């Protein structure tokens, strides 16, 4: 079906009102879960072919995440859908006020390649739970996962409700030419800007899940053993191709030598002596990104890793010391297994530097001092993050996930996913038993019985 016809087909179906009842939404969510269950092995194989992602990582960061989001949506959906009664002021005497939860209608979801399965379907859960129809465009850079998604969705869903359109930027642009009721985009900042611009022609609301350079700050009083383990894990999971990966390390001078030595050990503990050929270690998605990352290896002083294998597009977990904000590695989001290290003496310097750059998607601060923790949380703006950990906030369904400023617009996960795809319609239900003349000009104030 042509893209234009598909969108029309979904719109016609949407106006049959079929997507709105609880039973229909529950059926779609069950379908989604059954679809994933049936294809679990093929999903793991596709992720391995696309990114050399291990079975363990595929399960924990892609498949398992989706099961828990679907379970939470199924458990709470009835409650989320209910019109919610809100207070009514005295001036409105006689009436009652409500929020009605209304789907947007026909929605578009555009996905990236780094968690190509999870980041494609996690927003779909919110969209279907909220009673919308969905056109999903997966990333062309992970073709195995993209074609599997298409095959699975074709088998399990009516295209009037949920359809996959495969393709590259050109196809994405053609989709953006259509009139959707909401666009949910996950990807880079430059493409996010294109999406917002295209959406503005119809004033279509957008949710933009973007990226940026997420700082990881280790202060002098941090638990260094745990900081090293948790930073190494957060940075090198999926070979650093994670939107909320620690992008760079900012370490207090007095603990720097000890932290760096513990980080090197933590990398060995995670991936052994030869990480390039470790089955648990992901590869770089393609040659273009491999070459882009390789350029960064010329910056600063290499103190760990640095080995590459271009035949399999893999780069070792790498640490670069003596880095300054002027280095190439500090200009853009790294999105790979390279950790540059900056040094600070006073926390005030860190606050000033981070404020001087775009608001990051995530921030991680390691310290035992609660006052300083609160200082960081109050002074710096970022999407979300952790104190004394990395990545973990993304897996708590009670925490909305999203960016701020250039790292994104809007949020999702758990109830926030339902809210992201729902318009909350404010309604006053007025009495017809009496009429307060107070609002009418030139009339005597008072109560008029009808």
Query: Does residue 107 touch ligand NAD according to CB under 6 A?
Result: no
* Residue nearer to ligand NAD on the CB measure, 256 or 415: 415
Report phi then psi at 19, rounded to 5.
-80, -10
Give least dist CB 249 to ligand NAD, A.
Answer: 18
103 beta partners: 422
Query: Does residue 191 touch ligand NAD according to CB under 6 A?
Result: yes
Which stretches of 177-256 are assigned E, i.e. beta strand? 182-186, 206-209, 215-218, 248-252
Query: Does residue 210 touch ligand NAD according to CB under 6 A?
Result: yes
Query: Does residue 178 touch ligand NAD according to CB under 6 A?
Result: no
Characterise 34 by phi-psi region: left (phi > 0), alpha (psi -120 to 50), beta (else): alpha
* Residue nearer to ligand NAD on the CB measure, 139 or 422: 139
Q: At 26, which helix (H) or strand (E)? A: helix 22-38
Give least dist CB 218 to ligand NAD, A.
Answer: 22
- In angstroms, rounded to a whole number, what is the distance separating the alpha carbons of residues 152 and 66? 15
- Residue 374 known to be catalytic: no
Stretch that binds ligand NAD, among 154-162, 208-216, 301-309, 352-360 (CB under 6 A): 208-216
Query: Does residue 420 touch ligand NAD according to CB under 6 A?
Result: no
| # chain residues binding ligand NAD, by CB under 6 A | 27
- In angstroms, rounded to a whole number, what is the distance separating the alpha carbons of residues 204 and 169? 20
Which residues within the stretch 115-144 sit at the binding site for ligand NAD (CB under 6 A)? 119, 137, 139-140
Among 173, 324, 381, 431, binds ligand NAD (CB under 6 A): 173
Q: Is the dihedral of CA 407, 410, 416, 417 positive or negative?
A: negative
- In angstroms, rounded to a whole number, what is the distance separating the alpha carbons of residues 395 and 214? 17
* Residue nearer to ligand NAD on the CB measure, 130 or 165: 165
Among 125, 408, 414, 417, binds ligand NAD (CB under 6 A): 408
Stretch that binds ligand NAD, among 76-84, 123-131, 167-175, 424-432 (CB under 6 A): 167-175
Query: Does residue 177 touch ligand NAD according to CB under 6 A?
Result: no
Give least dist CB 86 to ligand NAD, A.
Answer: 31
Give least dist CB 132 to ligand NAD, A.
Answer: 19
Give least dist CB 190 to ligand NAD, A.
Answer: 7
Q: What is the DSSP letter of 212?
A: -
Give least dist CB 403 to ligand NAD, A.
Answer: 6
Task: Judge contact between 183 and 107, C-beta under 8 A.
Answer: yes
- Residue 386 known to be catalytic: no
Residue 445, both tokens? 């104030």
Among 103, 123, 211, 215, binds ligand NAD (CB under 6 A): 211
Question: CA nearest 217: which of 373, 416, 61, 374?
Answer: 373
3-state secondary structure of 180: coil
- In angstroms, rounded to a whole number, what is the distance separating the alpha carbons of residues 138 and 172? 9
Query: Does residue 333 touch ligand NAD according to CB under 6 A?
Result: yes
CB-closest chain residue to ligand NAD: 211
Query: Does residue 58 touch ligand NAD according to CB under 6 A?
Result: no
| 3-class secondary structure per residue, 91-140 | HHCCCEEEEEEEECCEEEEECCCCCCCHHHHHHHHHHHHCCCEEEEECCC
Query: Does residue 113 touch ligand NAD according to CB under 6 A?
Result: yes
In the chain, the N- to C-terminal Cα span, in Å, equals 57
Query: Does residue 162 touch ligand NAD according to CB under 6 A?
Result: no
Query: Does residue 172 touch ligand NAD according to CB under 6 A?
Result: yes
Residue 242, both tokens? 């994670």
Place of tokens 């319609």: 425
Burial 390-408 (b: 16+ CB within 10 A, else e): bbebbeebeebbbbbebbb
Among 199, 243, 284, 330, binds ligand NAD (CB under 6 A): 243
CA distances 338 to 317, 324, 408, Å, are 6, 15, 23
* Residue nearer to ligand NAD on the CB measure, 131 or 402: 402
Query: Does residue 395 touch ligand NAD according to CB under 6 A?
Result: no
Q: How many residues does the chain have?
A: 450
Helices 118-129 and 22-38 meet at what angle, rounded to 10? 160
Q: What is the DSSP letter of 402?
A: E
Give least dist CB 67 to ligand NAD, A.
Answer: 19
Residue of 57, 62, 69, 209 marked active site: 209
Query: Does residue 147 touch ligand NAD according to CB under 6 A?
Result: no
* Residue nearer to ligand NAD on the CB measure, 131 or 240: 240
Residue of 69, 220, 243, 316 marked active site: 243
Residues that bind ligand NAD (CB under 6 A): 110-114, 119, 137, 139-140, 168-169, 172-173, 186-188, 191, 194, 209-211, 243, 333, 335, 361, 403, 408
Q: Which residues are catalytic?
A: 209, 243
């Amino acid at each position: 079906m042509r893209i234009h016809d598909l969108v029309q087909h979904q719109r016609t179906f949407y106006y049959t009102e079929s997507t709105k009842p609880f039973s229909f939404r529950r059926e779609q969510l069950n379908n989604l879960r059954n679809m994933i269950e049936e294809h679990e092995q093929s999903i793991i194989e596709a992720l391995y072919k696309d990114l050399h992602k291990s079975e363990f990582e595929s399960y924990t960061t892609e498949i398992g995440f989706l099961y828990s989001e679907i379970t939470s949506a199924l458990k709470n959906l009835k409650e989320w859908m209910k019109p919610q009664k809100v207070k009514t002021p005295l001036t409105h005497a006689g009436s009652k006020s409500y929020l009605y939860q209304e789907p947007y209608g026909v929605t578009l979801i555009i996905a990236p390649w780094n968690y190509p399965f999870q980041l494609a379907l996690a927003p779909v859960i919110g969209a279907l739970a909220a009673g919308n129809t969905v056109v999903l465009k997966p990333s062309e850079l992970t073709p195995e996962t993209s074609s599997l998604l298409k095959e699975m969705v074709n088998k399990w869903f009516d295209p009037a409700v949920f359809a996959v359109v495969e393709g590259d930027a050109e196809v994405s642009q053609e989709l953006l030419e259509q009139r959707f009721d909401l666009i949910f985009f996950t990807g880079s900042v430059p493409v996010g800007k294109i999406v917002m611009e295209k959406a503005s022609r119809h004033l279509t609301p957008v949710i933009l899940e973007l990226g940026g350079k997420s700082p990881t700050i280790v202060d002098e009083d941090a638990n260094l053993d745990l900081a090293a383990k948790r930073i190494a894990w957060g940075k090198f999971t999926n070979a650093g191709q994670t939107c909320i990966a620690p992008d760079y390390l900012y370490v207090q001078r007095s603990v720097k030598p000890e932290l760096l030595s513990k980080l090197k050990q933590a990398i060995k503990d995670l991936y052994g002596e030869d990480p390039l050929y470790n089955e648990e270690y992901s590869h770089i998605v393609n040659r273009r990104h491999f070459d882009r990352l390789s350029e960064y290896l010329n910056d600063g002083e290499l103190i760990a890793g640095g080995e590459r294998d271009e035949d399999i597009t893999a780069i070792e977990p790498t640490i670069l010391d003596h880095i300054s904000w002027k280095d190439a590695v500090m200009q853009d989001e790294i999105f790979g297994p390279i950790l540059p290290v900056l040094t600070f003496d006073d926390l005030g310097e860190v606050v000033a530097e981070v404020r001087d750059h775009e608001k990051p998607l995530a921030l991680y601060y390691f310290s035992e001092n609660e006052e300083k923790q609160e200082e960081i949380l109050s002074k710096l703006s970022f999407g979300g993050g952790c104190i004394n950990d990395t990545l973990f906030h993304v897996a708590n369904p009670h925490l909305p996930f999203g960016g701020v400023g250039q790292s994104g617009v809007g949020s999702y996960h758990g109830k926030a996913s339902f809210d992201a795809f729902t318009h909350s319609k404010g309604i006053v239900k007025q009495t017809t038993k009496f009429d307060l003349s107070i609002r009418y000009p030139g009339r005597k104030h008072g109560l008029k019985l009808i």
